[in-house]
Amino acid sequence: MATNPYISQKVRSEQHLYEDLVIESLKFYGQDVYYIPREIVNQDKIFGDDIPSRFSDSYKIEMYIENQEGFDGEGDLFTKFGIELRDQATFVVARRRWKSLVGDNLAEHGFRPREGDVIYLPMSESMFEVLKVETETPFYQLSNLPTFRMQCELFEYSDEDFDTDIPSVDAVEYEGAFQYKLTMNTSEENKPVLVPVLTDQGRVESVTIQSAGSGYTSAPTLVTSGVVNASRFGRSALYSNLGHGDEGQYLIQNAEGTVELFIKPTNLPTSGQQALFVTGGDTPQNEMIFGLNTNGRIVYSYSDNNGQSLNEVPNDTIQSGNWTHVLVGHDDNDFFVYVNGTKYVDSASDRTLNLISNHGFSVGAFAAREVDGINYSSFNGQIDEMRALVGDASAIFDSRLTHTTQSYTLTISGGDGADYTFDASQSDRNGEITDLTDPEINVIIGDTLVLDNNSGGHPIEIKDSSDNVVATQDVSTEETTFTPSATGTYTYQCTVSGHENMVGNIVVSAQPTGITVPSSEFDSNSNTALLRHFNGDSAELTAVMDGGSISSITIGDSGDYYTTIPTVTVDAPTVGGQFIIGETVTQDNTSYSIKGEVTRWSDSDRILQLAHVGSTDGTFKSFSTNSKIVGASSSAEWVPKLVEELQQIQNTAQNKIFDDFEGDFLDFSESNPFGDIF
């Protein structure tokens, strides 16, 4: 028989009443839970799953738990591989409430709960994954379906991303996610350690990279320390005892000229002689070598001397540890040697000395050689300030002689027929004249002496030791001018008969033979054929980068005359700042970028923990220790020195805490735990 047409179960008001009663009952007997929809990030269409899911929203709603005597399912399983939690629960939610609180906020599939979504139950602090949604239970009461019935199982965390702003929910990824633990470098630890390698000549030939540094976004500037060592003048000297030397060509060639330098022996040779420099000649067969012997004297040899003995300069002993100036020169046929400004050799040479020639020069360690059968070993000491000048001696030395010719005008104030009287406060070459009556006057060759005679009627003439008149008084000026060209004792005397006692001596001495020793760095002029200050230049280095680290060093200038390994100073990359929990950080490497979410940051020990790590090229990558990690929100920048992986063994360990009873469980391995069977 058909149903009564006058009675209907589809009365809308009754259906609404039914739903209201269901909702009210759920509010009475249900629990407040959070419904957390799953967001699909990268669906695998072959396997039909989405491992890197994201949970970024949560909706608070009341649900009824049908389980009366605890959660269903297999419960807690203890195995030798750990603990497996297989709790299950059935949640009931009113359709109308779910739609208004959850479904209307979902962009798609908002008409019902979806499998894979998560329900968080604060009462037990458990998260359940929706396995199945019953849409027809209870079955069409009043022709209506007022509820969804969801069969759920305890959620097993698998590196999903939770950003629900519910601390107890989001903590699951901090506790259970596969994470990286990064220990950061300090600023100083990011700096590279570079150690130059020197040649015998004190030049940088390579750089050892002991630490490549990290965190640089561009190549840092490398500053190499300057060359500073004990020198006579300037920054540094040539250390022949360390193998330093120099050689080359003169800018100008001339047979006449001088070569000078400063030397500082560390120790005098115990035998033989040590080479200072080589110069002269057009070929090695007629060069000159100068050195230092065991007596502290300058010695020299000619390469074409046919086995003759050493030539020794009779200079005062050169002391080790002291700077000594040495100058050798050739003028016309004269050969001369000065040591510390004193001339010790001045002799006519029986050979043509091509002193500054196109054969060039060698100095320091490069000068060591055998010349004319005599071996000159390498000089054990320092050399500084070497200069060669071309031209004759007068052109070179006039400004450096220890004397200069002077002009002396002496006034005679009176005479009485017996003596001349000179004015007071007048000087000659020896200083102030104190005996004013017929005094002795001292000059040197080349000086000009003028006797201004105000004695009245007592004219003067000057005679040499042979009584030859060499100068007479000018009648108009009453002055007698005398410029001696030879040494000796001359006399000035009154020419009036009977006044012969008005007489005095003029002593003429030779010009001094010394020259001034330079008191500063040598300078140059148009006659300069060679000028070496031996002021070593600093090496110029450039870093070649690989990512944020130095991969190699390019040497632009190797520098000169280093005596110790120079230091290379590099500014550290800028690091610092505080990462924010939950922000995304990025590390840009050469061929890929890698990102992660901050789960922990400790500025005291500089430890950063990251979850949900992935590279932009879609392949597995790890963080490098070369480049900076930069926070998207905080802009913090740090470089890791240690990268560790934190692996959670038990996926559901975040839901419950169990005592460690591992030692009390039987080991159900392939062996028989109850005994062996033979």
Q: Are residues 290 and 143 both part of a single domain?
A: no
Q: Report the CATH number that the domain containing residue 264 is assigned in CATH.
A: 2.60.120.200
The residue out of 338, 363, 397 marking a domain boundary is: 397
Inter-residue contact 112 to 135 (CB < 8 Å): yes
Q: CA distances (Å), 250 to each of 193, 270, 333, 337, 359, in order?
A: 41, 33, 21, 20, 8
Q: Are residues 28 and 131 both part of a single domain?
A: yes
Cα-trace Rg, the chain: 53
Inter-residue contact 559 to 536 (CB < 8 Å): yes
Q: Are residues 270 and 351 both part of a single domain?
A: yes
Q: Are residues 638 and 490 both part of a single domain?
A: no
| pLDDT confidence of residue 142 | 58
> Residue 492 belongs to what domain range?
407-509
Is 461 inside a domain boundary? Answer: yes
> How many angstroms from the chain centroid is the CA of residue 270?
42
Q: Are residues 58 and 156 both part of a single domain?
A: yes
| pLDDT confidence of residue 147 | 85
Whole-angstrom Cα distance, residue 66 to residue 132?
15
Residues of the chain with pLDDT under 70: 1-15, 42-52, 70, 73-85, 108-110, 139-144, 282-285, 305-309, 348-352, 394-395, 398, 647-678
Is 664 inside a domain boundary? Answer: no
| pLDDT confidence of residue 658 | 43
Q: Are residues 92 and 22 both part of a single domain?
A: yes
Is 353 inside a domain boundary? Answer: yes
| pLDDT confidence of residue 174 | 75
| pLDDT confidence of residue 362 | 95
Tell me how many degrees the CA angle 338-343-348 measures, rounded to the nearest 5: 100
Q: Are residues 122 and 212 both part of a single domain?
A: no
| pLDDT confidence of residue 605 | 92
Inter-residue contact 261 to 277 (CB < 8 Å): yes
Whole-angstrom Cα distance, residue 594 to residue 611?
12
- Of 231, 258, 560, residue with least CA distance to 383: 231
Q: Are residues 121 and 250 both part of a single domain?
A: no
Q: Are residues 413 and 484 both part of a single domain?
A: yes
Is 377 inside a domain boundary? Answer: yes
| pLDDT confidence of residue 255 | 83
Supply the DSSP symbol for 19.
H
Q: Are residues 219 and 126 both part of a single domain?
A: no
Bridge-partner residues for 473, per DSSP? Answer: 480
| pLDDT confidence of residue 81 | 59
Inter-residue contact 569 to 612 (CB < 8 Å): no
- What are the tokens at 39? 């967001």
The residue out of 115, 131, 165 marking a domain boundary is: 165
Domains in the chain, number:
4
- If one counts every other C-beta atom within 10 angstroms of the C-beta of residue 466, the result is 7
- Of 361, 397, 392, residue with least CA distance to 256: 392
Is 516 inside a domain boundary? Answer: no
**pLDDT tens by residue, 386-434:** 999 998 776 677 677 777 788 999 999 998 889 999 999 999 988 899 9
Is 1 inside a domain boundary? Answer: no
Dihedral sign for Cα atoms in the order 60, 64, 69, 71: negative
- If one counts every other C-beta atom within 10 angstroms of the C-beta of residue 10, the result is 9
Is 110 inside a domain boundary? Answer: yes
The residue out of 368, 397, 426 marking a domain boundary is: 397
Is 617 inside a domain boundary? Answer: yes
Q: Are residues 218 and 243 both part of a single domain?
A: no
Q: Report the CATH number that the domain containing residue 412 is assigned in CATH.
A: 2.60.40.420
- Of 118, 184, 164, 215, residue with least CA distance to 582: 164
What's this model's pTM, rounded to 2 decimal places? 0.59
Q: Are residues 368 and 447 both part of a single domain?
A: no
**pLDDT tens by residue, 77-102:** 666 656 666 788 999 999 888 888 99
- What are the tokens at 154? 């305890």
Maximum distance among all Cα pairs of the chain, rounded to whole angstroms: 191
